[in-house]
Structure 1
Amino acid sequence: MERFSQHRSATGALVFLLLGPLVWSIHFFIIYAAHASLCALTGGMGTVWITVIILAVTALGALALVSAALGPMPVYRLLVRHPGGDEETRFLIAGMRLLAGLSTLAIIWGGTAVLVLPLCAQLR
């Protein structure tokens, strides 16, 4: 039995290509959900926990995207189920790296906002 198929998984290729924006959207949801819910639950007193959670999720998301961009083949093989090595594989990797780089910048930008903006300001 072959480990990889001769044909690429179209869904896997799409998820691989959009890995950066997907991680960015998950990061965006987590930081805003954590911020809003912890501000509401603690009455604005849990700002240390909010900062720690947002910075940890930001570091985790950025690290995941940087590692996927620097070593894309294990992620490619896992999602696409194709050994790679052809022109289409190189195109998908280049596109994923571009989108992962842009998404990493967006994750860092969104995560560092916790250091600049006042926390729980909308509840005051």
Structure 2
Amino acid sequence: MTRALLRTLFGPLLWAVHFSLLYLLHTAFCVMGVRMGDPAAAMLLSSLLLTLGAVALLAWLFVLRWRSGALQSANGFLNEASLLLIVLSAAGVVWAGAAAGFIEGCASLR
């Protein structure tokens, strides 16, 4: 049961890790950027790579779960919930990555 629950919650967990890493990198680049100059390009590139990597991992996981025929197993509800949570998590990852790309970074440190 624990394994099925972890498989169901993998999408939201990856979303949380992506969100945390995104803002951790943003803060690190802002702190280092005060000494180095303008960190905007590094922040944009890192947020783009992190977002694309997370979306690719979620898409791969979705395809694996879909092809495994998991919807016909005994835990049908958990498997359907897992697929829906993966889609929701992908939307959250894209939303957070887009915000990091469009909002000007380090404005509060200037």
Measured against the shorter chain, the TM-score band is 0.7 to 0.9
Deviations 1:2-46 (A, max 9, x none): xxxxxxxx2211110001100000000100000011101121622
Larger Rg: 1
Give the equivalent residue in structure 2 for 1:92: 78
Whole-Å Cα distance in 2 between the matches of residues 60 and 11 of structure 1?
26
1:40 partnered with 2:31: yes
Among the aligned pairs, what percent are the same residue?
A: 28
RMSD of aligned residue pairs (Cα, Å): 2.1
**TM-score scaled by length of structure 2:** 0.86
Whole-Å Cα distance in 2 between the matches of residues 42 and 120 of structure 1?
9
Which structure features the higher share of helix residues? 2
5+ residue gaps, structure 2, are none
5+ residue gaps, structure 1, are 1-9, 77-82
Moved over 6 A (4+): none
1:123 partnered with 2:101: no
After superposition, where does 1:34-73 map in structure 2 within 5 Å? 34-43=25-34, 45-72=38-65
**TM-score scaled by length of structure 1:** 0.77
Whole-Å Cα distance in 2 between the matches of residues 69 and 92 of structure 1?
14
- The Cα shift of 1:85 comes to 5.0
Whole-Å Cα distance in 1 between the matches of residues 83 and 71 of structure 2?
16
Q: 1:21 to 1:64 in 2, by over 3 A?
A: same
- Tell me how many residue pairs correspond in the alignment: 107
Moved more, 25-34 or 113-122: 113-122
Give the equivalent residue in structure 1 for 2:92: 106
- The Cα shift of 1:86 comes to 2.2
Deviations 1:39-60 (A, max 9, x none): 0112162211111111101001
